[in-house]
Structure 1
Amino acid sequence: MCAFVVVPRQPEGMEEFSVSITEAACLGASLALSGIFYYLHKKSRTTVKKLDNAPHFALDGKLKDLLKVTPGACLRYAVIEGTVKPVGEPLTSHFHKEIFGVLQKFILKEHRLVWSGLSRTWLDTERVLHERVNMVPFVLAGSDETTVKVVSPLYAAGNHTEITNEKFHQATFGFGELVGQYLSGEKPKGLLELEEMLKVGTTLTGVGEVILDTDGNLSLRPPSDGSQYFLSMADFETLRRENDNMAAWWKVLLVASALAGSAVLFWAGLRYYRHLKVRWEREKENREFVRRQNQDARLRSDGADEDGADDGSGNACVICLSRPRDCILLDCGHVCCCHACFRALHHRKCPICRQDIVRVLPFYQP
């Protein structure tokens, strides 16, 4: 007799549903991204609301008079516009001697092509090799020569510098180096050299805390309440619209991330429902099998006990080799195992012909 070795599984009622690693990773990423996007959206909306409520002041002598009667001589969040003027000698561009400024940035970037096995293409990447910033004190001047000193401009958001020089140094390689680059999956393209400056005479929109110090000088500085500090070459309406658009983009990403997480939850819930449905069907099938088995036993006065061992080795279950064969597997019709071993099968396939088992019926052999 041919014996089949089958690894038993948990009984029908003991099967547990589990979330796959991919589902858990996707759900976790969705929750994390949703939290980040919500925070950024809320922060952007708060900034837009503060910009909407920020008062606009002309940079003239009336501003000083206003601050003298303001408690603490401070405007917590205000919008002013003025022309950039240096306090002392300005900075000179290293590449254009006719350009003067108050803030100068030198940036050296390395560009590389990196092979992506996922997209099967070369992707352009960059990294900053060197960055240096030079700055001199400067003020914003109004129409009547009233000035406000700009404090901590490097902490300000907004576009307030212009590119005054941009040069790309192409990398050159020999044949051996090119072969090595293709093997390693990285190809240096070259170095990008940038110079950015805040030029003298540029009109800036400043949004921040305006104070009048004890010497009677006006200063614009980052807000003490943590609100966003701005210095921008754009006018106020453009600055406000840019921040409003940014808040809208964060909202779109938040909704997309939340929908992705909902889709993962829906898929996991659907799998769980299918799991329960299969378990309910098998429990119903087992109850029907027991009912038919008991009915057949009552109809035959000489019936044998379901759990009793068969004296004839030819009627033994081909899986456990101890209990008698007591079920018919359909649609193939094989009578080869006991009902207990059928329930322990990992896959509902006939041990003899490997066909799918659609239904099982009790079988009695006197």
Structure 2
Amino acid sequence: MVPFVLVSTELGNPTGVVHINVDKADQPLPLTTVFHKLIPLETTPYTLFQTIIGNGYPIALLDEEKILPIGKKITAIGLCQAKDAESVEITSCPEIPFFLSELTKDEMQAQLASRARILFWGSIVLGTLSVCLVGHAIYRGWTRIKLRREARHARQMFEEAEDAIHRDDSSDDDEIGDGQLCVVCLRKRRRAAFIPCGHLVCCSECALTIERTPHPLCPMCRQDIRYMMRVYDS
């Protein structure tokens, strides 16, 4: 048995709860509203019209009160210890999410199991999301490193191609066969191959011009070009 005192902080209990002084704190318990008498309102033409259209016949409350139901069972969960030689005191426990409750023992166990399942699956979902985010960050980092390497390699190839252009200007004075002419300018020898398709169809100057376009495409197969490579005769 746990001694307690019923207290109320507001006159008439308009909030619908009564406070029980247990565990050195006020624990609220809901009250039941009891209607003592119902009386009809004075009828008017408008009231009759409301009744006809189905809104019901209005009535007024003459008296009502809120009481703690007789025989209401409240379960107390907590730490029980002897206060002195004649009394026992029960206090709330931070590890248990119940103290004064209208639930039974089985209902409390079912609610705790439901919360445990929610926490378990929530932790799995959050863990999966965190792993996905870490994997996505690693993938983006690796992609950036790869793009930087390709850009550095492309700059090197670009510098080599520019040097090759100047050399081609002096070496292309000899007679060139039709099968060796650039397909773009039809004046200079084919010196540059496109990667990844590998077609050797342009001179170094035209290949650089194609490579600098927003969407470089091979003039032979129309495949995307990553960069161009200078080809040297043996």
Question: So what's the TM-score if we normalise by structure 1?
Answer: 0.33
Indicate the structure whose relative CO is greater, using CA pairs within 8 Å and at least 6 residues apart.
1
When normalised by structure 2's length, the TM-score is 0.47
The structure where strand makes up a greater share of residues is: 1
